Amino acid sequence: MAAVADRLSEARAGGLEVREVDGELLVRGPRRLAAVAEALLGRKTEVLELLRLEAASDCLGNHEHARLLDEVAAGDSLAVTMVGLLMAAKREGAARR
């Protein structure tokens, strides 16, 4: 998971937009970063997990976020479920605004 996080950071630093749209991974940006984009798309499941963790981190303190990230990286299905629930709550809150 750390390698995917590094690749995601590299992509963003280079100017790629990486986000989740309706459960799909969207990667847009300069053609010169096509190889980076393809690498991210090749690890779609992990990239989507990281994006969900980033979004969920708004709901958590630093310590809880770090612990949750470790659990997701270890394949803890409960942690992945928690991220999904936090994302749903965040979307619901945004829809009410």
Where in the chain are the domains? 2-96
Angle at which helices 77-96 and 62-73 cross, to 10°: 130
pLDDT for position 74: 72
Does residue 68 register a pLDDT over 80? no
pLDDT tens for 12-42 read: 999 999 999 988 999 999 999 999 999 999 9
Residue 51: closest CA among 27, 15, 75, 78: 27
Cα 39-23-53 angle, rounded to 5 deg: 75
Q: Tell me how far apart the alpha carbons of residues 56 and 68 are, in angstroms, rounded to a whole number.
A: 10
